[in-house]
Every structure is written in C-alpha cells, then in structure tokens.
Amino acid sequence: FESRQLTGRHVIITAGPTREALDPVRYLSNHSSGKMGFALAEACAEAGARVTLIAGPVHLATPPRVQRVDVVSACDMLGASETAVNDAVASLGAARVVFIATAAVADYRPAQVAGQKIKKGLKDDTLDITLIKNPDIVATIAARADKPFVMGFAAETQQVEGYACDKLSRKRLDLIACNDVSRGDIGFQSDDNAMVVFWPDAGQGSSAAAPGLGRAELAKAPKTQIARALVG
Ligand code: C5P
C-alpha cells in the first residue's frame, strides 16, 4: 500500500442506508452502518485521492479531507451521484474517476408519500402499501458512455460468489467485493469484514471456479484494513 497512489484521481463513494418516506413521520430503511464506505473514503483520501462521500443517514464522523454530501432517499442518492460523477468527469476525464457503491440502497420505495401522517384504521387490521422499484445507482453510473471505473459490493446470505459474479456482469461493474452476511462476525454493523473480490479477466488471472473472472480473497480484518487492501 503506497501512500499516494491515488493522487490525481477523484473517488466518489456511496455509503450507508437510504430512507424511503411513507409519510411525514415514517420511513422504510435497513441496518446498514455505513462503516465500510466511510473506511474506504478515509483510505482513498490517505492514498491521495480527492474523495466525495455520498452518505445516507448514518452516525459516523466525516473522515479528514473528505467532502461529504448527505442524502436521505435512493432518488436523492442517485441525483447526488450523477452530479458528482458529471463534475469529476468534466474536470479530470472518466479514466481518472472511480465510483464505489457501498450503500445499502432500498430496493423499493412507497409508490406514494402521504402528505399527512397515515392514521390507524379503527376497523382495519391490515394496511396495504404499494412499493415501486428504486433506480439502481451503480448500474446507472456504469451504463454511462463516459464510464468511470466502477466498483460494487454484494452482501449475500447464500451462493455468495455466484450471485456476486452475476451482479458483476449484469451491472457492468469493473470490480465487485462480496461477503457472506449470514456470518455474525463480519459485515453490516460489524467493525470487521472478510471479502472475495472478482473482476473481468479473460487472461492469466482467470480462476477455475469463475472462468473469465479474476478472483482474490481478503481475509477477515478490521474494515479500515480491508479498505486499505481494496485501495491497494
Ligand atoms: O443488487 P444489490 O443491491 O445486491 O447490489 C449491490 C450493489 O449495488 C452495491 O454495490 C450497492 O451499493 C449497489 N446498488 C445501487 N443501487 C441500488 C441497489 C444496489 O447502487 N438501487
């Protein structure tokens, strides 16, 4: 890990959960802590990159020399990501821009946000809420004509590597890091992580288990250390 190897690059990172409003006082969300994305932001800044961190609602301090943009919903996060990528590509060119998607974006949002607090029905024991699909932020960025280098994450509870390889090609990613969130000792709220990384590689690095893909393992370590290993 060389300390200034990302000098001259702009790294844009999404992190944390998103919140999808149901009404003025309620929302749908998830337990993402944002720790992996914040650790990566810190590691990239230490490595000399200009870093923009697009964060959902999390309780974490902004790492030194990182420009933070706070967002709430998936649609806000997409807008902020597109703005950041547009600006970075315009000033440096796509080849010097890296987009890293660590955010646990809500897959769906309520189709309608009630203007007033939804009241409990006196007679109804059930409440139906229609959800619509959120935009896929990382896939949207990877589909650009002026595509930066795009990295995604895959947290799975089964067939971890198979699903990750599928995501790599479906979302047109340049790199994917996957981990098994059914393990209690790593992932989500934890300070530690362990990962397997895949990237398109038709040549020598191609692994037998995943033909056409390179594969590398990062053993269980603190997220700060995993972040440094990913940067390297
Ligand atoms: O499809 P899945 O949610 O498992 O994919 C995970 C990867 O895609 C992560 O890198 C995540 O940040 C990104 N993602 C995204 N926008 C979504 C859903 C996932 O950027 N709406």
Tell me how many degrees the CA angle 40-45-49 measures, rounded to the nearest 5.
110
* Atom of ligand 1 at shortest range from CA of 154: 6
Joined together, the tokens standing for residue 19 give 């919140």
pTM of the model: 0.93
What is the value of ipTM here, to two decimals? 0.98
Strand partners, 23: 26
* Atom of ligand 1 at shortest range from CA of 139: 20
pLDDT digits (tens, 9 = 90+) for 81-94: 999 999 999 999 99
Q: Look at residue 1 and tell me whether its pLDDT is greater than 50.
A: no
Strand partners, 199: 214
Would you place residue 187 in the very low, low, confident or very high pLDDT band (cuts 50, 70, 90)?
Answer: low
Which pLDDT value is given to residue 204? Answer: 66
Strands (E), the chain: 10-15, 20-23, 26-28, 50-55, 66-70, 97-101, 108-110, 131-133, 149-156, 175-180, 192-200, 213-222
Judged on CB neighbours under 10 Å (0-12, 13-18, 19+), 188 is middle
Residue nearest to ligand 1 atom 15, measured at CA:
137
Residue nearest to ligand 1 atom 2, measured at CA:
154
pLDDT digits (tens, 9 = 90+) for 119-142: 998 898 999 999 999 999 999 999
**Substitution candidate for ligand 1 out of 40, 137, 157, 174 with most atoms within 8 A of CB:** 137
pLDDT digits (tens, 9 = 90+) for 23-78: 999 999 999 999 999 999 999 999 999 999 999 999 999 999 999 999 999 999 99
Calculate the average pLDDT of the chain. 92
Joined together, the tokens standing for residue 73 give 């919903």
Joined together, the tokens standing for residue 70 give 């706070």
